[in-house]
Every structure is written in C-alpha cells, then in structure tokens.
Amino acid sequence: MTDASANGQLLTTADGKPLKRALAKAQAHAKRRAFFLVLPLLAFILITFVMPIGQMLHKSFYNEGFTVNEDIGSGVRTPIMTNLKTWFDANPLGTEPDEAAYAALAADLVVLKDLRAAGQAGTRINYEKSGSRSMFTKAARGAEKLKPPFKEAIIKLDKDWADPELWRVMRDATSAYTANFYLAAIDRTKDVNGNIVNVEEARQVYVKLFWRTLKLSIMITLMTFILAYPIAHLLATLPLRYSNLLMILVLLPFWTSLLVRTTSWMILLQSQGVVNDALVGMGLLGDENRLQMMYNQMGTMVAMTHILLPFMVLPLYSVMRPINPSYVRAARSLGATSWTAFRRIYFPQTAPGIGAGALLVFILAVGYYITPALVGGADGQLISNLIAFHMQKSLNWSLAAALAAILLGCVMVLYWLYDRLIGIDNLKLG
Amino acid sequence: MALPSYADPLEKAWHYAYLVICGLIFLFLIAPILVVIPLSFNAEPYFTFTDKMLAFDAEGYSTRWYDLLLTFGMLAPDAPRDTSWWADAWENAAWINAAKNSVIIGFFSTILATGLGTVAALGLSRPEMPARRVIMAILISPMIVPIIIVATGLFFFYSAISIQDWGIPYLGVVLAHATLGIPFVIITVTATLVGFDHSLTRAAASMGADPVTTFRRVQMPLILPGVISGALFAFVTSFDEVVVVLFVGGLDEQTIPRQMWNGIREQISPAILSVATILVLISIALLATVELLRRRSERLRGMSPS
C-alpha cells in the first residue's frame, strides 16, 4: 500500500476513493446491516427477559419494607422508621437500646399507624425474626397513647421488644440494601453482634435442598446417560430407513406436552396405578404392600429421567452417526476383544456427545419445577419448588429472589461451560 | 447393525441381549405416552385398566370423559343437544374457553417469535455479524434459564409497569411466551441457513434484485421449512407452558395447561386423560409435519436424506 502511494498510484475505486477505505466502509456497512437485523430481537429479549430478571436480582438485595411506605392509590412515597434510623446511625452495633431508642421507636410507630404501614414494617422484620409482625401491628395500634418513659411502656406491651436480636434485625432493616436474604438462602444469619452464624439445626432447609437438587440432577443425568447410550448407538448403526422410524419413538415424547407426560407417570406410578396393578395381577406383589413409587424422590427421578431422555439421545446420536465403523473393525482385526474395541476405540469418540448431552440434561434438571411439584411429594421437591413456595405462599419475595439468584448463577456457569466446550450453535432439536 | 460373521457365541448372546435392552428402553420412552389413550375411554372413574377393559368388553369403555370436557362449566349441560346447547358449550364450557385462550396466546406469541427470530437468524448467520457469540448466547438463554426464574422476574416486572392496566388482553403472557419460543426459532432457522449457498443471493443481486426481492424470492423459499418448524416449536412451547401463566396470567386467562394443572392438583379425574389424549394426537400431527418439512428442506438444498 505504501509502495503504491509512493508511486502516486493509489489503488482506487471507479469513483476515485482509495480502495482500502472503500472496502472498510463496505465491511462496516455489512456489519451494521447484520447487526440491525438482529437488533429488534435483541431489544425484545432485553426488555421482556433480561430486564425482568435484573429487576428480580435487585429485589434479592434491596427491600424497602422497613424504610419507605408507598401509598397504593396515589403512589406517594413516605420514608418510615426515620427516627430509629437516626438513633442506629448515632449508636454503633452492640449498644444497649436506651430510652432515646425507645422514644424513637414510639415516634416511628405513630407514623406507621398514620400510614397504616405497621403490617408492612412488621412483615419485613418477621422475615428474619418470626413472630414480630404481630408485635408491630399491636404496638402501632396504641402508638399515640404511649407515654414516657417509653422503654417501660413498650416493653410492657410485649417483653420481646427488649430482645437484642430484634434490635439487630431492625438495625439491618433500616437500610434497604441488605445481604441478609442471601445469608438466609444459605442457612446463615447474624447474631446479636452482627457475626455470621448458622441458623439452628431444625431450620436449616436451604443448603440441604441445594444438595438434594444437585444430587437428584446428577442421578437423573446418569440415568439418562445409561438409558440413552444403547439406543443412540442402535439408532446410529441401523440403516437410515429403520433408524428414522425408531427415531419417532424418541421424538414423540419430546413433542408431547410436559404435563401430559407427568400425568402419565402419575397414573402409572400411583399406588392404585397401572404398574402396581400389573405387579399385583402377576402375583409378584401382595395387594396390601403396594409400592409407594410416587410423591417421593423416586417419582421425581423416574418421571424426569423419562422427560429429559430425548435431550441426551439427540446429541449422542448426532455424534455417533458419523463415526466410521472401520475403526472398530481395525481394532478387532488387530486382536482386540469386542469390549476392548468398544472401550478404547468407540467410546472415546463419543465423548463430545456425552458431554453435550450430560450438560444439557443437568442444566435443565437443576431448574425443574412442574414435575417435582406434581409427583415429588415432600421429599422429592427441588430448589425451584421452594422459590415458588416463597413467591406464592410465604410471600417472602426477597428470599425467593435470593434463592433464584443463586440458582441462576449456577445455571449461568454451566451454560457458559456448555458454550465454551460445545458451542451453542451445535444445539440441535431433532 | 448386523452381527459380524466372526462373532463368538458370547458376543452373539450379548448382541441379542443388547437388542432386548434397547427394546425395553424404547418401551420406557413410548409406553407412558400411549397408556393414557385407552385409559381415557375408561367407563369408571379409575386410573387403571378395569377387568372389563382388559377383557375388551365394550361396556368397559365409554366416551363419558370426552363428554365431560364439553359439558364442564356449561350453564345447562343436560338440555337437549340442539343449536343452543352447542352455543352454550362454545360460550361457557371451561375446557373450550381454555382451548380458545391457548390458541389465541399461542398464535400471537408464535407470530411474534417467528417474525423477530427469523429476521435475527438472517443477521446471525452472516459472517460479518459482530459479537455473534455473546448475542447468540443471550438469545438462546430463555431456553436454559429455569422457568421459575423467568416467571418470578416477569411477575415483578409486570407489576412494576402494571401491564394489566394497558387494556390489551393477554399481552403479558403473549410477550412472555414469545420470549420462550424465540430460542427454538433461532436454532431451527440458523440450522437451515448453515447449508445456505450465499452465491444465490449474490446472483439475484447481480441480476438487479433489491434486497427485499432477493429475500422474498430466493432466500425465503429455501429457509421456509426451517421457519415453519421453528414456528411449530414456538407454538408448542406456548401451548404447553404453565408456570408463567400461573404467575402472570389474569384470572380469566385460563389456558389448557393451566386448567390441567389445576385439575391434577385438586382432584385428578379421567377427564384430564382425555385432554392428554387429544394433546398426544396433536403432538403426533405436529411431529409428522416437522419431519416432512425437514425432508423437504434437505431435498431443496440438495442434501441426501438423513
């Protein structure tokens, strides 16, 4: 290029622009055009998918229950618990609440009563210290009748107001930003001095549930692998006209409604269901000791293995199909037994398919909700079911969001791994 | 998968055992789906085969559960079955209303997902697409992120923007279902575009076709099978989705899966099985369509059938 310029013979296009610049311009134009084609969808996904999840993540560390009251009708936002916040800011953690603290509390309770926000504030405290919601509603009801000395007056209402634990929770809650929901999601809490400690044994549920989700997902992945490998191999080695027919047996479950498949397993596994009836009918089982195969971990495992099996078969099949059979034949001709030939020659070639299938099945299993909810019973529930419980029943949305954030983090790491190892482009559906 | 002639007896035995194992696994795959079909014709409210059914006695079978699908929720289910009875069923039967909602939501979310997804897939399959990998990962992620997280996020988001006050029925659910269907459209359409010969578009351009004409007359007919498969996937995704509907759907937005979910949770009646049977038949039809499209696509692109 420099040589050409030196000669004064710059390569140009027909209309006299330098060729290099014209090319760069054309490429930038092509790039922009490709990007503009994707842009509408990207914007759509950002609004309907990424933003909602971002908002949920925000909820997991931000809770205004004890700081701001928003009037539902007018949308007016009023700060609450301001006096108490001032006292907390002036006095470090560990200070015994004095008369001034109780006076601040009494003033805030009056505000709560006027705004009818005692339930809201109490609920926020109740997330971390159960039983305190009613203390707030009760105290706010007679708030303006409280006379100094406030300390005695308030403790007379309920002696739990003197509980240092309660004051620690209130101190944390006066800041809307908090990591306490994440602590709760891993069975941790803070003690009176703000140190992170385990919650008592009987209330440790979340870590156990994460472990169970992990354990069940690994077992389901293993089961799908054991079941998918032989049939993927059969499909890959049969002539196409047979394998296409058999493939329908794999694809039909894939296309059938999840609820239909779960329902089918319910009627198969029920204690009065088809499997038990068949076993009793054949005399293998007494009528009185029918197997309990549903509403436990077994129900979840069997149904999810069935539902996720196609996701293992399809990647395995697409890796196995192009494997050249002459490698195995060559191994045999060199004296390998059929087992050695399989183990040393065939199996290593299918490793990419195993990786792809296992990761996909595991990612999908970790977040499963519907099937465990219907056939899992009490001990077949996964972490998703607990998120739903906190969303719909206990209404502790921040805790639900914190649990969801942890689950999402795990899934994203696996997804990233999938993209690095297999590539999302290689995802195939049938 | 023929047995080689040099196989010893042990290998032969293993080979047949292997075929039996494969047969059992295929049975495991397909039996749960097929078992609901005969059971949905059960004359008794049980979920297992009665003696009469096993004896193929006509009395053991009935279509009463299919009838219940029509009559459940009707104002006057016992009236004579004339025009007004059918009008009543069309207006008030719970399952028919659920089906109507499902079809409306499925239709609009499919249109949205397919339209946006196809255009994006065209961009993504161009070699000059910037940041392709990251964007692809974002666009596929609705398939990977656990559905409960999507539903939770949408629940907060829709209440923050109070979408139900916008006056557009089904809007929230349609947008959510379109999002969930988009990965399938992207995957199927980009798969069709992988084998696409770009010299065809250049040829069209050299003959004076503008980009829109090129797309309409050259690209579209070739990628159409992929687009239709993607659309069918998106429709099935919406038609089968229950968690988002439970979280963000209004009380009147009752869909078939939601109705099934309620039915299963409250008290499961064989009417659920007749719905399940109908859904299985629909999925058989959809699978057949997709298979035919796939073969057609391969023929069009001059690939050997596989």
Q: Name the closest residue on chain A to residue B35, using Cα atoms.
A: A264
Interchain pair B46, A272: CB under 8 A: yes
For residue A80, give the nearest of A103, A112, A107 by alpha carbon.
A112
pLDDT digits (tens, 9 = 90+) for A279-325: 888 888 877 778 888 888 888 999 999 999 999 999 999 999 899 98
Q: Which pLDDT score is estimated for A429?
A: 65
Interchain pair A268, B272: CB under 8 A: no
Q: Which pLDDT score is estimated for B306?
A: 40
Q: CB A216: neighbour CB atoms within 10 A?
A: 22
Q: B275 lies in a domain?
A: no
A402, two tokens? 């914190």
pLDDT digits (tens, 9 = 90+) for A372-411: 998 888 888 899 999 999 999 888 999 999 999 999 999 9
Q: Which pLDDT score is estimated for B302?
A: 64
Q: B138 lies in a domain?
A: yes
Interchain pair A49, B141: CB under 8 A: yes
CA distance B149 to chain A (A): 6
Q: How far is CA B188 from CA A342, B182, B225, in A?
A: 33, 10, 9
Q: Name the closest residue on chain B to residue A415, using Cα atoms.
A: B144
Contacts of A275 (CB under 8 A, 6+ apart): A268, A269, A291, A293
Q: B24 lies in a domain?
A: no
Backbone angles phi, psi at B7, to 5 degrees: -65, 140
Backbone angles phi, psi at B138, to 5 degrees: -65, -45
The crossing angle, in degrees rounded to 10, of helices A297-320 and B9-39 is 120
Euclidean distance between CA atoms B123 and A198, whole angstroms: 52
Residue pair B75/B88 in contact (Cβ under 8 Å)? The answer is yes
Euclidean distance between CA atoms B106 and B117, whole angstroms: 16
CA distance A7 to chain B (A): 33
Q: B89 lies in a domain?
A: no
At residue B50's C-alpha, the angle toward residues B49 and B55, to 5°, is: 95
Interface test with B, best of A39, A247, A256 (most B CBs within 10 A): A256
CA distance B305 to chain A (A): 9
Contacts of A335 (CB under 8 A, 6+ apart): none
Contacts of B75 (CB under 8 A, 6+ apart): B88, B92
ipTM: 0.87
Quickly list DSSP for A317-367. Answer: HHHHTT--HHHHHHHHHTT--HHHIIIIIIHHHTHHHHHHHHHHHHHHHHT
CA distance A383 to chain B (A): 10
Q: B212 lies in a domain?
A: yes
Euclidean distance between CA atoms A228 and A353, whole angstroms: 11
The crossing angle, in degrees rounded to 10, of helices A383-392 and A206-237 is 130
Residue pair B60/B53 in contact (Cβ under 8 Å)? The answer is yes
The total number of structural domains in chain B stands at 1
Q: B38 lies in a domain?
A: no
For residue B289, give the nearest of A30, A50, A248 by alpha carbon.
A248
Domain around B120: 98-268
Euclidean distance between CA atoms A205 and A125, whole angstroms: 20
Helical H runs in A17-81? 19-45, 51-61
Backbone angles phi, psi at A158, to 5 degrees: -160, 125
- Domains of chain A, earliest start first: 2-61 (no CATH), 68-178 (no CATH), 206-426 (1.10.3720.10)
Please report residues of A whose CB lies closer than 8 A to that of B242: 258-259, 370
Which value, in Å, is the radius of gyration of the alpha carbons in chain B? 25
Q: How far is CA B257 from CA A131, B149, B167, in A?
A: 38, 19, 24
Q: B250 lies in a domain?
A: yes
Residue pair B153/A56 in contact (Cβ under 8 Å)? The answer is yes
Residue B249 CA, chain-centre distance (Å), reads 19
Interchain pair B39, A267: CB under 8 A: yes
Q: Name the closest residue on chain B to residue A361, using Cα atoms.
A: B144
Quick check: B2 contacting A, CB < 8 Å? no
Q: Which pLDDT score is estimated for A1?
A: 44
Nearest to A231 among B26, B158, B273 (CB): B26
Q: Which pLDDT score is estimated for A8?
A: 57
B261, two tokens? 């979910």
Quick check: B148 contacting A, CB < 8 Å? yes
Which residues of chain B are under the pLDDT cut of 70?
1-2, 267, 301-306
Q: Which pLDDT score is estimated for A4?
A: 47
Which residues of chain A are under the pLDDT cut of 70?
1-9, 428-430
> What's B294-305 look like in SS3?
HHHHHHHCCCCC
Euclidean distance between CA atoms A150 and B224, whole angstroms: 77
Question: Residue B121's domain is classified under what CATH number?
Answer: 1.10.3720.10
Q: B173 lies in a domain?
A: yes
